[in-house]
Structures are given as structure tokens and as C-alpha cells.
Structure 1
Amino acid sequence: MGKIKVHEFMTVDGVVDAPSWTMAYPWTEPMVAAIGSITAGCSDVLLGRTTYEMFAPAWSTRTVEDDPGAPFFNDSPKHVVTSRPDGLDWGPATAVGYSASALQQLKDDADGDVYVSGSVQLVRAMLADRLVDELHLITYPLALGEGLRLFADGSRVELSLLSATPFENGVVHLVYGPA
């Protein structure tokens, strides 16, 4: 039985919207290693439809020479939470409907851990259903004041801090588990 590991780029005020704002904070070797450590034990990728459609053109043409993460993203089985099975032509990809039991089964059947990135609606539902084992928040020292937030107004999610790693550019890798 694997874990479900969620990774999000986030501002200090919780915004996870299209993270173009990350460009102002150059990647460091420890940041690359941190992302690599999240995906290292993962055998499968779970994405919402919108994130899948954003990732497909961005990753499908990358090679290991472009980005060491390219083989993981391109070759791993991708499970896409969607009601439309058409257009899933990036790597091995299958459509899945959302239910806590179906995602628990996916987690149980995976050869390793299951990696999730972006996919805010999906992550919100999985947090509510207590399916997330590790929530990796790569938190940038920036507040935007508006934008899509991971935690919707009125939501309550109790978490337990597993680790906090600051990077020299002010970004912090926060890892939470279920409370």
C-alpha cells in the first residue's frame, strides 16, 4: 500500500493559481532535490483534468536532458479524474471517476506512492476524504491577496506538521500529514 503525496506551489496567503509568480525565485539545488524526493518513491500520477491538460503539452516534449523529472512525468501511469475519457493521449493515461473508495483502491494497488500536483478541486476533495498522506507545500515568500486558494473559505482541514525546510531564496518546503 502506497501513500498519496500531494505537491503544491503556494504563496504565504494560500494562492495556488497558475504559479508564474515562482519565476522571481530561482530554483536552487536543494529545491530540485526536495521535488525529486517527493516523486522518488512514486509509481503513479493522479491529476485532475485541468492539470492534466496543462501538464501534457509542458511535459510531453521534455527529455531527461531538459529536466531530470521528465521520465517520471512522461512514463508513469497517469490517472485522470474526469467524466470525459477522450483526449487522454499523453503517455499511459486512464480516466477515473472521483470516489474515495476508487482512489483508496488506486492507492492500495499502486506499486509505489501516488503523486498529485496542482489539481486543486481534486486535492480539496481528497483532503476532505482524508486520502492525503503527505501534503508538500512549496511556499513562496509572497502574498498576492487574490487568486485560487488551496483551502476554500469555510473549509476546515486539520494537519500535523511533519517537516519544514527553508531554502536560501526564502522559499520553504512544508510537509504536513493527517492530524
Structure 2
Amino acid sequence: MGALHAHEFITLDGIIDEPGWSADFDFDEGMNETLERLAETCTAVIFGRRSYEMFAPAWSERTGEDDLFAPFLNKTPKYVVSSTLTEAEATWQPTILLGGYDPEAIRRLKEEQQGDVFTGASGTLVRAMLADGLVDQLHLFLYPVTLGTGARLFPEGSVPQSMEVISSRTNASGVINLNLRVRPQG
């Protein structure tokens, strides 16, 4: 059974929406190392439809020379949670459509994996999986900036969560890698 690792770019005020604001910070070697270590244990990637549609054209043409994370994203099976994406639109291979959000389907996916499952971006999906107790570890790139408005990882009314800090490191860019173990609810 694999663990589900959710990775997000996040501001100090908890915003994860459209991280164009992250471009003001260098994506440094420490951040690359964090993603490489995470990819080493993962044998599947899970996306929501919007993130899949943003990632596919941006990453499908990249090579390891362009970005060290590209081979992982391009070769690893990608599972997409969507009730609207069609097989014809799922051109970034290998891609498997899971249908609409179903916590049991994601539990089965975790159970079937020989390794872990990675998800990045996909805020709506990550919030749902956190609420349903499916996320095992939360990996954050915490940017020293506030935006005031935007979609938050934990919006008002979210299910309360308790987490344990596994590790943290401040990178040369000022971005903090924060690795958290999500404690089971209840």
C-alpha cells in the first residue's frame, strides 16, 4: 500500500491558487532536491482535471535536460479525477481516468500501488482528499509572501487537521520546504 503525498506551493496566508506569484522567487537546488526525493518513492501521480490540463502541455514536451522533474511526470502513470475529461482529451500518456471524485477509488489506488502516490497542485482535489483522510503527507513550499485573496488550502469551515512536522528547511531563495505527516482523524 502506498502513501499519498500532496505537494503545494503556498503563501504565508495559505493561498495555493494559481501560483504565478512564485515566479518572483528562484526555484533553487534545494527545492529540486525535495521534489527528486519525493519522486523516488512514487509510482503514480493523481491530478484533478484542471491541473492535468495545465500540466499536460507544459510538461509533456520537457526532458530531463529542461527540468529534473520532467522524466518522473512524463513516465509515471497519471490518474485523473474528473467526470468531464474524455479519453480523447487525455493525451499525456500514460493517463488513466478515474471518473468523478470518489474517496473509495483513491483508497483502492493507494492500496494497489507498490510505491507512493504523488499529487501536485489540484487544490480542489487535495482539499477533498484531506477532508476524507486520504493524504498521508503534505509537502509545502512555503513562500514568504501574502496575497490576501485567493483559494486557500484550508478555507474557513475545513475539517480540523492535526499534523506532525517531519522536516523543514529554508532554501537559498527564502522558500521553506515544510514536510508534514497528516495524523489520522478521530
TM-score after normalising by structure 2: 0.92
For structure 1, the 5+ residue unaligned runs are none
CA shift, 1:85, in A, is 4.2
Distance 2:50 2:152 in 1: 16
Aligned residue in 2 for 1:84:
84
Amino acid at match of 2:94: P
Distance 1:150 1:157 in 2: 12
Distance 2:66 2:25 in 1: 19
Distance 1:168 1:64 in 2: 23
CA RMSD, aligned part only?
A: 1.1
Aligned match for 1:121, one of 117, 121, 124: 124
CA shift, 1:157, in A, is 2.3
Amino acid at match of 1:169: S
Aligned residue in 2 for 1:66:
66
Aligned match for 2:137, one of 134, 158, 164: 134
State whether residues 78 and 93 of structure 1, in contact with CA within 8 Å, keep that contact through their aligned partners in structure 2.
yes
SS of the residue aligned with 1:40?
A: helix
Runs of 4+ in 1 over 6 A off after TM superposition: none
Number of aligned residue pairs: 179
Query: What percentage of aligned pairs have identical amino acids?
Result: 44
State whether residues 85 and 94 of structure 1, in contact with CA within 8 Å, keep that contact through their aligned partners in structure 2.
no
CA shift, 1:168, in A, is 2.3
1:101 paired with 2:104, answer yes
For structure 2, the 5+ residue unaligned runs are none
Listed one character per residue, the Cα deviations across residues 6-29 of structure 1 (whole Å, up to 9, x for unaligned) are: 000010101111111111111221
Aligned residue in 2 for 1:161:
165
Distance 1:119 1:126 in 2: 10
Distance 2:172 2:78 in 1: 33
1:174 paired with 2:173, answer no
